[in-house]
Chain A
């Protein structure tokens, strides 16, 4: 079982690498932005950070990097792809997920914990959560204001592709709970087939007791669980 973390110039790839390697105890390697071959991986992560400085539009330059051809192919074949923060922006710019990202409504960067409501617990990424559950996860972004037109939004909702929404501690979806103006309080969405997930909050930043929150760990455990079941392999979870 092997994870790959994509490194664009300017990505913060070390955080996801650390969590897979040290917290979950799984095999992981970096995928360089010029690499073409992704056949060896069970799950590919596009990490947070500021690929290419986020110049032009967040994620736009990364979306045309050489590695993206491989990523598109990998997604077509049903490979698991997780885009976090900037990774989510790259997936949108590359057209692997629907919609686009704008600057936060109050045009400032925001870093703090938010509450998320889990809207779909049947995905490779969410099977260790319960639908309707509220979790606390940190955000750190200046461009997390998700946009999609109404028709496409309706389709997303219909297909269960809205995976996480910003909410209050009690689980209400209110404007006050929305940190960036994102349409429908959307924090994360998946592809039609469910094998590509993008989200703005950072689950990799909350997987250890010492950091005060482990809510993000279950996202990674979900992936292991799903891979295990689908490959009929035993999965050991460390950390």
Chain B
């Protein structure tokens, strides 16, 4: 018979941790206290594995109003206004129940935003799935997409962007990262602090059920056959919408001393974190917490992850006014505790004290420094050379194949299920390099994007991480926006495996480097480890969510070719390579090679130049060269503008390389022939190369080589059909 594990081990604590707890308390913790430690010291809540590495991120900048450490980061956009944003992962819940998992992910990150006093104005996401050939993957994707829409659409917050990538490593462990963006006046930013002895602690929103107990320990384990998922949490976007209005109203009226949403580890983490940040004590009476079903235990009340709940601290004289506002919005709000001055975290059940531990003991979890080791595959794969790789005979067919690859094809099957025009701010919606929103009542705009190439990060996590940052910034620059801050979603396998921890630490290293050179601070983020199924890790996937600023929202462009006869120019040094490319994976079924080089100084100059050209109004379109290489980038511009183009590529070497090889820091722009000299001069002044490739016009994309030989001739309409239909035909 198997030996009964001790409770603390069942709950996910190690022997060392348990001893440490006994030492702090000077006694053994009771059942409930053990549960509190187990959740707060779980990786998901404590970042015990990742904290030392995350310190590498640059988090300061002239626009930063709030960096990491609060519910979300905040960045100044002038006129006393700020943008608040954050990424959150909901990977394991989505693997178990795709609709509700994704929906509650959106709900959770949205609460992080309005917790700060900001009105949510946009959502984005970053998704990773297995291959679409697999019916189970299609089931996951349909569910996740419906869930994101089901929640976000009902909230009335437009989902304006995102990215999605398909690869077999995500087959059973999909990634669902959601990002929310809000707008607030500087002087209305509210923080998650329980200050003021004697102040009241108010719990507002949904009743507490027994759902989601131990959600955070669930997120801190690998998925396996035996994994027991907690009872599924269902999101109620309708309640959240009312909660947004009620919370923003009480914050607007300055009734709120501190506020925090209930996320992972529910009431436990929110109350402990609020006291921890403020350096106070807190006391909660579980008998006062409204429960949904009969017989919910104190343990469940404290650990439940029932959705749509907020915890706030008020001064006693404001209690009635606050309750009245919640009542008007039809939202339940109950005083459940108070702030104390003894630095103790105390739980009562009526008159009985049922847990009593120092706040700091809960919030200052031990820090781990896991071992890291370079995996064997790394050196082997990066030294791959394309020598001997056959060049396909018909390069036009290759272009069609690439346009049909779900990683390149139109994602409109996905984003048309999201309301992206609500709130009347969407200047550029999904489908472009970045979304642009106008800021009502001002000429200003903000741009936003999520990026991250999982294959690059597998082959070279450090460079892949840097590229994720550079590419996000480039995407913003391509619509004319200046990057002002980023949030990250770091998705990796089990950090207790040295190779995985190496990937993690390398990726953060690379991202930090890029952030420093490009001068973009990290203001918030999320770490999701244990993305493994049956011992197999996902491709390491740091996701970057980035915000850009436009002084004039009207001065933007997209990638679409506009006018026949416009000149097509390639900005940036063109050094394509086949390693790590979508072409190599799709056509040759090889995932190997070095990741494209990235010169960050060069990247910075190119982006500045691109923004300058857009702001002067000298360019008509801009689009960056990404997956699929130059040929795909130009094809995308043709499709978006429903217009052909004729270009000549005066490059040496393998045709498949300069057509489909991938490269960093390259942007395709167009301008009228009259503006051409100016544009080239501006590029020269910025010390970046600019090469005229050809011009727009006609119904075909025609690509010639240096000798004038046609390599590709495709009807734009035909390309559009392939590109648009590829994902939707799977459903």
Instruction: Spell out A's residues near B (CB within 8 Å).
Output: 9-10, 12, 14-15, 18-19, 22, 48-50, 52-55, 108-112, 138, 140, 142, 202, 204-205, 208, 210-212
Q: Are A50 and B421 within 8 A (Cβ)? A: no
User: With a CB–CB cut-off of 8 A, which chain B residues contact A54?
Assistant: 154
A-chain residues with CB within 8 Å of residue B423 when the two chains form the complex: 12, 14-15
- In chain A, what residue has the closest Cβ to B239? A53
**Which 9 pairs of residues, A with B, have the shortest CB-CB distance?**
A53-B238, A12-B156, A140-B419, A50-B154, A205-B421, A109-B417, A109-B149, A111-B419, A138-B421
A-contact 0/1 string along B313-352, CB 8 Å cutoff: 0000000000000000110000000000000000000000
The residue in chain B whose Cβ has the minimal distance to the Cβ of A18 is B424
- Give the number of residues in B that approach A within 8 Å (Cβ atoms): 31
CB distance from A84 to the nearest CB of B (A): 12
Residue numbers in A under 8 Å from B417 (CB-CB): 108-111
Closest to A34 in B: B328
B419, A50: Cβ atoms under 8 Å? no
Q: Across the interface, which residues of A come within 8 angstroms of B421, CB to CB?
A: 111, 138, 140, 202, 205, 211
Interchain CB contact under 8 A, B153 and A205: no
4 other contacts beyond A55-B238, A210-B438, with CB at 8 A cut-off?
A9-B238, A109-B153, A109-B419, A211-B438
Contacts of A52 in B (CB 8 A): 238
**Interfacial residues of chain B within 414-442, with CB under 8 A of chain A in the complex:** 415-424, 426-427, 438, 440
User: B146 at interface (Cβ–Cβ under 8 A)?
Assistant: yes
Pick from B238, B239, B242, B427: contact of A211, CB under 8 Å: B427
Main secondary structure of the interface of A (DSSP, over half): mixed
CB distance from B284 to the nearest CB of A (A): 29
Annotate B139-183 by CB proximity to A: 1 below 8 A, 0 otherwise: 000000010011001101000000000000000000000000000
Task: Provide the B43-67 mask, 1 if CB < 8 A to any CB of A, else 0.
Answer: 0000000000000000000000000
What distance in Å separates the Cβ of A181 from its nearest Cβ neighbour in chain B? Answer: 16
Residues from chain B with a CB closer than 8 A to the CB of A50 are 153-154, 156, 237-238, 241
B545-570 contacts to A, CB under 8 A, are 553-554
Contacts A18-B440, A140-B153, A212-B427 given: A111-B420 contact, CB under 8 Å? yes
* B residues adjacent to A (C-beta < 8 A): 146, 149-150, 153-154, 156, 236-239, 241-242, 329-330, 412, 415-424, 426-427, 438, 440, 553-554
Residues of chain B within 8 A (CB-CB) of A19 are 424
B418 touches A205 (CB 8 A): no
A14: chain B residues at CB < 8 Å are 423
Which residues from A are CB-within-8-Å of B150?
109
Instruction: Contact check, B156 vs A49: say whether CB atoms are below 8 A apart.
Output: yes
Of A48, A53, A111, A211, which is in contact with the most chain B CB atoms at under 10 Å from its CB?
A111
Looking at the complex, which one of B238, B419, B438 makes contact with A10 (CB distance below 8 Å)? Answer: B238
**Residue in B146, B153, B418 whose Cβ sees the most chain A Cβ within 10 Å:** B153
For the complex, what is the distance from the CA of A115 to the CA of B242, rounded to whole Å?
34
Q: Which of A10, A48, A111 contacts B242 (CB 8 A)?
A: A10
Within the complex, the shortest CB–CB distance from A33 to chain B, in Å, comes to: 10
The interface residues of chain A lying within 8 Å CB-to-CB of B426 are 211
A20 to B356 Cα, complex, angstroms:
56
Interchain residue pairs with CB less than 8 A apart (21): A9-B238, A9-B241, A9-B242, A9-B330, A10-B241, A48-B422, A49-B156, A53-B238, A55-B238, A109-B153, A109-B417, A110-B416, A138-B421, A140-B421, A142-B149, A202-B421, A205-B424, A210-B438, A211-B424, A211-B438, A212-B427
Q: How far is it, in angstroms, between the C-alpha of A199 and the C-alpha of B334 when the chains are bound?
A: 41
Which partner residue on chain B sits nearest A14 by CB separation? B423
In the bound complex, residues from chain A placing their C-beta under 8 Å from that of B153 are: 50, 109, 111, 140, 142
How far apart are A50's CB and chain B's nearest CB, in angstroms? 4
